[in-house]
Amino acid sequence: MLDRYAIKVIRWPLNALSALPDRLGITANQVTLSGFVIGLCTLPALMMQEYLWALGFILVNRIFDGLDGAIARRQGITDCGGFLDITLDFLFYSLVPFGFVLANPEANAVAGAFLIFAFIGTGSSFLSFAIMASKRNIESPVYKQKSLYYIGGLTEGTETIACFVLFCLLPQHFALIAWIFGSLCWVTTATRIWVGYQTLKQP
């Protein structure tokens, strides 16, 4: 829901920041992989209940996620880069609630499982429509800079990052936040299925 506005805010800083790695010959895929490796450090930090460290790793991961796209737009967007980016994004998204489950299984296990279940809904509806839109050469009217069709929803990347920040700042309320955000994710999934089906059933 907020991604279209967030993109306008962060586009210029990311474009400016991407100039140096581009001049150094650093590729977008290298930044994607580096950001994912940094993001993996979130899991042990959460397991040890070092929530501020986890928050730092999450934020660096998300900065790298934006930076790889800016570099790709300089060097040329590729299918393999888009595939790598979206796959590692969804893996990272699931890693965060899993880390909170490991940190406190008794309090967080069911809520964490529900949130990961909801992420399956948002992710599968997102990617399934992108595949069909690509077959029909349907381009996103809003996210033209993306490597695949970006169908929006109530919970997008910006909202997910905000949720993760709340998790780390208020870890004692993880379960409540996860139930609320997971429910919103299911609203997103339902609207994506409806919009996607209505779009694709047109001849």
Using alpha carbons only, give the angle 173, 185, 63 rounded to the nearest 5 degrees: 75
Residues 6+ apart with CB under 8 A from 133: 139, 140, 148, 149, 151, 199, 200
Q: Does residue 152 carry a pLDDT above 50?
A: yes
Query: pTM (2 decimals)?
Result: 0.86
**Per-residue pLDDT tens for 80-96?**
998 999 999 999 999 99
Q: How far apart are the first and last CA of the chain?
A: 28
Residue 196's pLDDT band, with cuts at 50, 70 and 90, is confident
- Is-catalytic flag, 89? yes
Q: Which of 65, 68, 85, 89 is catalytic?
A: 89
Distance CA 21, CA 31 (A): 9
**Per-residue pLDDT tens for 37-79?**
999 999 999 999 999 999 999 999 999 999 998 999 999 888 8
Instruction: Spell out the domain ranges in the chain.
Output: 3-200
Percentage of residues in the chain having pLDDT higher than 70: 90
Average pLDDT over residues 179-198: 92
Does domain 3-200 fall into CATH 1.20.120.1760? yes
